[in-house]
Chain A
Amino acid sequence: MSVKSTIVSQFEQVATEQERKLARLSDDTKLIECGLDSLSFAIIVARLEDSLGVDPFSAERAVDFPVTFGDFVTLYEGLAK
């Protein structure tokens, strides 16, 4: 599974669990408008660390906080092997 499809399926899974309506995800979907709250993002990041083996936010260097879904995917694609 590609990094992007892993991320998409985590967004869908967490949205279902948190009973939130997920917006259609495209590269320019703003994260804040995708229907998920902070807790949902926290869970997604934790699970992606398990499945992709990386947490881009914990890297030593500072990261720009992603604003769109596309930014979010790029952040992971840059680190996941």
Chain B
Amino acid sequence: MPSKPRSLWDSITAAGPPAGSLYGCGGGVALAGLAHASILGGRLEELRGRSVLLAITDQLTAALAIAELDGVARRMVLLTPGLAAEHLPAVIAGAAADARVQDTDRCSPGREIGIGISVDARARLEPHPVRRASTCETEWILLTSGTTGAPKLVQHDLASLTAALADRPPAPEVVWATFYDIRRYGGLQIYLRALHAGSLVLSDPAEPLIGFLARAAAAGVTHISGTPSHWRRVLMSGAAATIAPRYVRLSGEIADQAILDGLKAAYPEATVAHAFASTEAGVAFEVRDGRAGFPATLLDAPGSPVHLRVAEGTLRIRSAGNAHGYLGVDTGSFPRASDDAVDTGDRIEQRADRCYFLGRQGGVINVGGLKVYPEEIEAVINSHPWVRMSRVSARRNPITGAVVVADVVLAEADGTGGRPPSEALERELLHSCRRSLAPYKVPAAIRIVPGLEVSAAGKLARPDA
């Protein structure tokens, strides 16, 4: 007989009632309260065995809903905030979602789309008789953006998501905070860590940075995580000293020496660690020596639960933290390498005893932790009647790691002389990008160039960033 599935709730209560709290903008909720109370208005049992879309704006509500639904729902789809409405029907169909949990008082995404049952949730525990019995091994679906901008549905479960937490002794009195949204992989890792040992202060996109730092300080933050872009913003806020963490973590982008040094100067007492993880590959490692890159000894380390290797210039990871695949039609595109490792697509260069990240293979550009595919932007620019071709590339940027810039080759004038001067053209092209692309995808600069190199294979030459 198969053993009873172990849920997130089972796991965080294994050593007794959880002592920590989750904090949102409007206050905190003690995790222990979930034993006899719910945020789902007494409707938890209706969701048992279903494929549930978490269409929730408020992070605290989402954090509590996840804790209630693992082991209950057959599948949980963590919708990321800001997902374009046009992609929702495909996500719902791909995940065969037959239920939805949504905010009571905010405008949940896709509220108008019909789906089996809808359950309202709010970030407040109400006493209800709840059966915390685990009856499913819930599949967790995380979304990442694909080449066309349409999201991919990445399959995980509690075991893969908590693989990096194994063998970690619970640290008492840990108060986590994260700039990430917990529906993204980096934030979800922090959420799971915090639930197992401590408390968590959640961010809110509407809240100014200084307000968030003040809230984190008030909760007694000891551990805090964000991307290098988040941290540059903290250093530029003049409010870095609001908090005094013992542990500062960076992930999601390449951590360069400048940001590591800046954080060490701002928080001399803290351990400044940078970690590498991806939604598909899971957590690979954490580096605590204050230097950019990672020690080459991590590669092919015998006996390590996370096997790292560089092949064809990119980092491959094989571990229990790997995602299981993409759900739905896109399955074939999952970046599984021949030895069953996940190809991260991140290019590595080894210099002496250290490995450094060079950027993404295949030209994916990372703007402040968000993936940008050049082809998507080129398609928008190329649709303009004055444009013959374009090439979108990354330019290094101290604030967001990279920004997007575009080189544009104009179509031959048709002799009517109707084409405006280049400056007006650049403005017009930027304007059309802004109309159809998310702000971080709009080029910071457009240059009109006489021509673009095309490779022997007939493809646009993309010099390494």
Contact = CB atoms under 8 A, between A and B. Distances in A.
A32 B430 contact: no
Given A32-B237, A41-B399, A65-B236, A47 B445 contact: yes
Nearest to A41: B399
Contacts of A15: none
Interface in B392-418: 395-400, 403, 405
A39 B236 contact: no
A42 B368 contact: yes
B395 A38 contact: no
Contacts of A62: 258, 261-262
Chain B contact-residue range equals 20 to 34
Interface string A12-52: 00000110000000000011100000110111011100100
A55 interface: yes
Contacts of A66: 236
Contacts of B434: 17
B116 interface: no
Given A41-B399, A57-B399, 15 more contacts: A31-B237, A32-B237, A38-B232, A38-B399, A38-B400, A39-B400, A42-B400, A42-B444, A57-B398, A58-B398, A62-B262, A63-B258, A65-B236, A66-B236, A67-B238
B236 A45 contact: no
A12 to B, nearest CB: 15
A65 B232 contact: yes
B440 interface: yes
Interface residues of A, number: 23
30 contacts: A31-B236, A31-B237, A32-B208, A32-B209, A32-B210, A32-B233, A32-B236, A32-B237, A38-B229, A38-B232, A38-B233, A38-B399, A38-B400, A39-B368, A39-B400, A41-B236, A42-B368, A42-B399, A45-B399, A46-B397, A46-B445, A57-B258, A57-B398, A58-B398, A62-B258, A63-B258, A65-B232, A65-B235, A67-B238, A68-B238
Question: Which A-B residue pairs are the 5 nearest by beta carbons?
Answer: A57-B398, A67-B238, A42-B399, A42-B400, A65-B235
A58 B396 contact: yes
Nearest to A32: B237
